[in-house]
Chains A and B, each alone.
Chain A
Amino acid sequence: MKRFSLSRKQKRNLFRILLAAGLLVVLEVLCLTRVIPEMIWWRLPLFLIPYFVVGYDVLRKSVLGIAHGQLLDENFLMSIATIGALAIGEYPEAVFVMLFYQVGELFQSIAVGKSRQSITDLMEICPETARVERDGAEREVSPEEIAVGEILVVRPGEKIPLDGIVLEGSSALNTASLTGESLPREVAPGDEIVSGCVNGEGFLRVRVTKPFEDSTVSKILELVENSTAAKSRAEGMVTKFARVYTPVVVGLAALIALVPAILHWIDPALLPNPLGMVKTALIFLVVSCPCALVISVPLSYFAGIGGASRRGILIKGANDLEALAAVDTVAFDKTGTLTEGSFRVSTVYPAGISESRLLALAGAAEQHSNHPIARSLAAAAPATEAVAIADLEELPGRGVRALADEKELLVGNAKLLADHKIDLPANLPQAIGTVVYVALGGVFCGMIVVSDRCKPDAAESIRALRALGVRRTVMLSGDREPTARAIAAEVGLDEYRAELLPAGKVAAAEELLAQKQGSFVYVGDGTNDAPVLARADVGIAMGAFGSDAAIEAADVVLMDDSLSRLPVLFKIARKVRRIVLQNIVFAISVKIAFLIFNLFLPNLWLATFADVGVAVLAILNASRGGR
């Protein structure tokens, strides 16, 4: 919204409007003070000056329009209305109608320009040039020319041009333009960073991992570029309405002008003054433009999409926003969507030794393995307690065996302990997740549960969705039943389906689609979610950091993987729908009320005010959608 200035064309039009308005005021004052006599022939040429100043392009376009067979375009209607007004001697009114029409046009173009600006602001996430190290020197080249594996140099305050891995340096990245998240993200050597973030205070050397076409920035730009392609149903409806409304009103205007004239021609005594109705007919022409609707409805969606993108939510089309406003059923993938998708030690049950000792033993035994569970155990080991490990041996499908402080250490599943004839205590608690047992010197000394954790905002977001009127929340998971049940209960979902293969997910989605009352929204992140994302009324992919297939298939992308964006998104969708409805009802009712009112009290000034005023108010209302 900032840094918005008028284009050259807009400036010129503004100048013409001000000039014509000034001239009109002067002429009106001269008329009222009788400097210009009332019934004198040169009154018309005088009023024609501001008329042409403000309306010459409308007249020119309407002539061209006739030549091209565009009879009912608004330029033509405005020309006929104003020329008619001039013909019946309403000179100031004619100028005023034209003037106000142009004010409305200028206003529209500014409002639309502003909205567009807010979306194009997003485009600035991509830097023009990038610094790359070549032949021992730093070169500035365009990001497209940089190959995978090259070394980038990013100075403080610069944008990251390509996705990569930090080799040297540490900094805090501002990801606000990607995620809407204001908290900076700390990065250090070894961390992956994505393009579009702004570097903080540190100096970074980055190895490029993706070519420009596949980098996060390019993918986002592509999404935004194409976001306005799909039209909403409301938009389609309004266009259809416009197609009918204009000809009907123009037809009525012709009838109003012609019928009295014919009656007068049949018998002059029947209708002594046929010209009286001409003015009403002209007013019909002035009010015949459905501009308020045709422009404000798409603008509302556009503003909504723009507003969402500033909050880290990319929406691919207006129709998606419309469907989101009627959300009824929301289904979620589990791993990576409701949960963080990474394993952590969730509970520790020591038996006879301290908790930290148990973690240290398990961590030491698993420190060299690459398995996700092993890594989570190694990460949980306290740094203060060192355990000397020798003779480490991996037992596939069991766990590991080693010597720790000269005693046999076993870390693994129940089978491993059973193999070594170690009895598990009978009263071990039930656990959700993967259970790792530890035994030292032939004695059971505890168990550790490793599980994927729910996202911290998951439960709260689900509650918020329910408060927003979402009737049914379902989890579709490929995971085992107990885990799925536990996660569904923890975040407070209505239902869950577990042990689903990708085809099973689609079948479950079909079933939910058949039972829905509003629209069916699916939230997922993995490649296996892509078919469901495509099948749902609205597919929401978690994160530009998620899988490419999911982002491709989805209609909406949440840039920061955060579930708390969902209520925000649904609120925006509702707000936009409310605004669209308001505008449709408001514009149509004012127009119809005015057409009726005019039959009794024709007034051109008022008609112009009503027409342009409605358009301006509707546009102002529409731009609210983004806030």
Chain B
Amino acid sequence: MKKTFALIDLDCANCAAKMERAIAKIDGVNEVTVSFLAQKLVLDADDARFDEIVDAAAAAIRKVDSDCKLKK
């Protein structure tokens, strides 16, 4: 399943790149793009565990930048 999420207050480009790397490492993620300019996360992951993976991605984002939130 592929879904797009808005990222609120993503304000550094370097962080976006770090988030992307961190999320790509999560088990079950097929493809991920964090676009700093569009302030968006495009996540393609396993259908069966999608919600779980989204939660893990949200945690990874918080870890990189505590101000940035994932809007579901």
Contact = CB atoms under 8 A, between A and B. Distances in A.
Interface size class of B (residues with CB under 8 A): 20 to 34
Given A70-B18, A115-B37, A229-B35, A61 B13 contact: no
Contact of A70 (B4, B38, B63): B63
B64 interface: yes
B25 to A, nearest CB: 13
Interface string B56-72: 00000011111100000
Interface in B28-70: 33, 35-40, 42, 62-67
B26 interface: no
Contacts of A105: 11-12
B33 to A, nearest CB: 5
B24 interface: no
A623 to B, nearest CB: 12
Contact of A109 (B11, B15, B18, B63): B11
A242 B35 contact: no
A112 interface: yes
Given A61-B66, A61-B67, A294-B17, A228 B37 contact: yes
B9 A298 contact: no
Interface residues of A, number: 31
Contacts of B15: 73
B33 A231 contact: yes
Interface string A215-241: 000000000011011010000000100
B14 A294 contact: yes
A9 B62 CA distance: 18
B48 to A, nearest CB: 24
Contacts of A64: 66
A231 B13 CA distance: 13
B9 A9 contact: yes
A114 B39 CA distance: 13
A290 B13 CA distance: 10
A154 interface: no
A75 B50 CA distance: 32
Contacts, number: 62
B13 A295 contact: yes
Interface string A256-297: 000000000000000000000000000000000111001100
Contacts of B37: 112, 115-116, 228, 298-299, 302
Interface in A63-86: 64, 68-70, 73-74
Contacts of A112: 36-37
Interface in A98-136: 105, 108-109, 112, 115-116
Given A61-B65, A115-B37, A228-B38, A298 B13 contact: yes
Interface in A137-169: none
A229 B11 contact: no
Contacts of A225: 4
A239 B36 CA distance: 13
A285 to B, nearest CB: 15
A77 to B, nearest CB: 11
Contacts of A109: 11
Contacts of A295: 12-13, 36
A380 to B, nearest CB: 50
Interface string B1-20: 00010000101111101100
A548 B25 CA distance: 36
A228 B13 contact: no
A115 B36 CA distance: 12
B11 to A, nearest CB: 6
A109 to B, nearest CB: 6
A294 B42 CA distance: 20
Nearest to B17: A239
A242 B17 contact: yes
A145 B39 CA distance: 29
A69 B65 CA distance: 12
A299 B35 CA distance: 11
Contacts of A228: 35, 37-38, 40
Contact of B33 (A74, A229, A289, A290): A229
A101 B62 CA distance: 22
B17 to A, nearest CB: 5
Interface of B: 4, 9, 11-15, 17-18, 33, 35-40, 42, 62-67
14 contacts: A9-B9, A57-B67, A61-B65, A68-B62, A70-B18, A73-B64, A74-B12, A116-B39, A228-B38, A229-B35, A239-B17, A242-B14, A294-B13, A294-B14
Given A9-B9, A108-B11, A115-B37, 7 more contacts: A64-B66, A73-B64, A108-B13, A112-B37, A228-B38, A228-B40, A231-B33
Interface of A: 9, 57, 61, 64, 68-70, 73-74, 105, 108-109, 112, 115-116, 225-226, 228-229, 231, 239, 242-243, 289-291, 294-295, 298-299, 302
User: What are the nearest 3 A-B pairs in CB distance?
Assistant: A68-B63, A228-B38, A295-B13
